[in-house]
Amino acid sequence: MAKKSVGFFESQRIQGQIASWVLYIIAWSGALVFVVPLVWMITTSLKAPDQIFTVPPRWLPYTQLTLNYDTEIKASNSGKIKITKDTDGTKRIELGGYSHVIPAIAELKVKKNDIVAKGDIIATIPNSGKVAIVEKVDKSKTITITSDKGLLIKEYQISQDTKPVVKDGATVHMGDKIADVWPQWSNYGKAWAPKALDETFTKYLMNTLIITITGIIGVLLSSTFVAYGFARFKFPYRDQLFMIMIATMMIPAQVTMIPTFFLFKQLGWIDTFAPLIVPTFFGGGAFNIFLMRQFLMTVPVELDEAAKIDGCNYLQIFWIILVPLVKPAMATTAIFGFVYNWNDFMNPLIYLNSTSNYTLALGLQTFTTMYGTNYDLMMAASTIVLLPILMIFFFGQRFFIEGVATSGLKG
């Protein structure tokens, strides 16, 4: 009997272990999916333009460029050959609905009206050629491979981070290495000071830092101040006011947006940072007040009373006794405030007009409108914008988690 029950628990234990392993694998697979977009952003940001639009996608930028092209053109259908010629020497072969483009360099292996089967070789391209390197103003280069007669076989656009290992005039064969390709760090330089925009990311970064830092100061000062009022004083309608404050969290910003915009317009604050900064000094947001109040409630009242007996007034109690004690909660608020301000898009979009006042988020959005297909540069710009926030996250991780725990969301 006793033995039997041991066996039962044993089997349950093994079952539990298997389940745990399955969950572990699921957890890591999911994590992989979650991290892929960020990895993809970084690897794309280091690629040369010709490495971006590839099927299948390349995970990592490649390290060398080898001469590679099709040396044979094969029929994609069976049928009778029909040849037409374009003005630039390009020929076309029509074959049962398919149109093959035969470049001037290719040597035709079939004649008009020949009958071919699918997969037959209809033209060949020489497997070696002569190198010609042309350097452009921005230090990027074009490597062209031409035949003896000067007909183009293949052309490579290479960026300034790519170093050709073949010399001008040399002969190269199929499969030869023609250049060393380094990660395209220059993408970051190009993204940082985009030619198509008036401003560089230095300006956007400075603007964002000014707004973010003063905004955080405003939020910290005023939310702690107000939270102290709610946490430690009894006054008429306190609980009703507190409920109103909680309720304001439900109000969509769009309802107040237009009159607030008008108010700031009347004050002459449009296209300045004031609309983004000044409101933070008036309470600092319901959520932050709530968070600080929850935290203050955990500080024993005896501390206040002791200070009062020692002759401190309320401002002194607040500043000397409580503020140092609620520093961890302030760190949480500061970090959330940083993330909020850094990512905020709608408010800068509404209030800032001139590009010299743009924040990173606005600058990045403008960047995409100018460089919509240059994913290498767009990913470099995105990395520039995300890097500080990712750093803040790694160093301030515990405050994110603590913030959630202290806000008493457990119900």
Partner 1 sequence: MENAVKKNKVKMSKQDAIWGFIFISPWILGLIFFTGGPIIASLILAFCDWDLITPPKLVGLDNFIKMFSDTRFLNSLFNTFYYTIFSVPLGIVGSVMVALLMNQKWKTVRLLRTIYYLPSVTAGVASAIIWMWLLNPDFGLINYGLSLLGVKGPMWMADELWSKPAIVIMSLWGVGGNMIIYLAGLQGIPRQLYEAADIDGAGMFDKFRYVTLPMLTPVIFFNLIMSVVASFQVFTQVYVMTGGQGGPADSTLVMVLYIYQQAFKFHNMGYASAIAWILFIIIMIFTLLQFKVAGGWVHYEGELKK
Q: What SS3 class is residue 98?
A: strand
Q: Which is nearer to partner 1, 156 or 399 (CB)?
A: 399
Phi-psi region of 92 (alpha: psi -120 to 50; beta: other; left: phi over 0): beta
Counting contacts by CB under 8 A, is residue 253 touching partner 1? Answer: yes
Counting contacts by CB under 8 A, is residue 260 touching partner 1? Answer: yes
Positions 7 through 36 that interact with partner 1 (CB under 8 A): 16, 19-20, 23-24, 26-28, 30-31, 34-36
- How far apart CA 332 and CA 94 sit, in angstroms, is 69
Positions 373 through 402 that interact with partner 1 (CB under 8 A): 375, 378-379, 381-382, 385-386, 389-390, 393-394, 397, 400-401
Counting contacts by CB under 8 A, is residue 222 touching partner 1? Answer: yes
Q: Which residues contact 211 (CB under 8 A, 6 or more apart)?
A: 273, 276, 277, 341, 348, 359
Q: Which is nearer to partner 1, 4 or 410 (CB)?
A: 410
Counting contacts by CB under 8 A, is residue 312 touching partner 1? Answer: no
Q: What SS3 class is residue 268?
A: coil
Q: Which is nearer to partner 1, 125 or 380 (CB)?
A: 380
Kindly state the DSSP code that residue 319 receives in the 8-state scheme: I
Q: How many residues bind partner 1 (CB under 8 A)?
A: 96
**Stretch in the footprint of partner 1 (CB under 8 A) among 69-77, 116-124, 180-188, 262-270:** 262-270
* Tokens representing residue 300 in the block: 């024993």
**Stretch in the footprint of partner 1 (CB under 8 A) among 71-79, 182-190, 205-213, 234-242:** 234-242
In terms of Cα–Cα distance, which of 108, 118, 127 is closest to 78? 118
Kindly state the DSSP code that residue 71 receives in the 8-state scheme: S
Counting contacts by CB under 8 A, is residue 74 touching partner 1? Answer: no
Question: Which of 7, 37, 97, 300 touches partner 1 (CB under 8 A)?
Answer: 37
- How far apart CA 185 and CA 47 sit, in angstroms, is 9
Report the nearest approach of partner 1 to the CB of residue 213 (Å).
Answer: 18
Given the structure tokens 């044979």, which residue do they identify? Answer: 72
Which residues on neighbouring strands pair with residue 171, listed in sequence order? 130
Counting contacts by CB under 8 A, is residue 294 touching partner 1? Answer: no
Q: Where are the alpha helices (DSSP H) in 344-374?
A: 346-351, 360-370
Kindly state the DSSP code that residue 57 receives in the 8-state scheme: P
Counting contacts by CB under 8 A, is residue 411 touching partner 1? Answer: yes
Report the nearest approach of partner 1 to the CB of residue 348 (Å).
Answer: 10
- How far apart CA 389 and CA 205 sit, in angstroms, is 12
Counting contacts by CB under 8 A, is residue 350 touching partner 1? Answer: yes
Q: Which is nearer to partner 1, 22 or 121 (CB)?
A: 22
Counting contacts by CB under 8 A, is residue 343 touching partner 1? Answer: yes
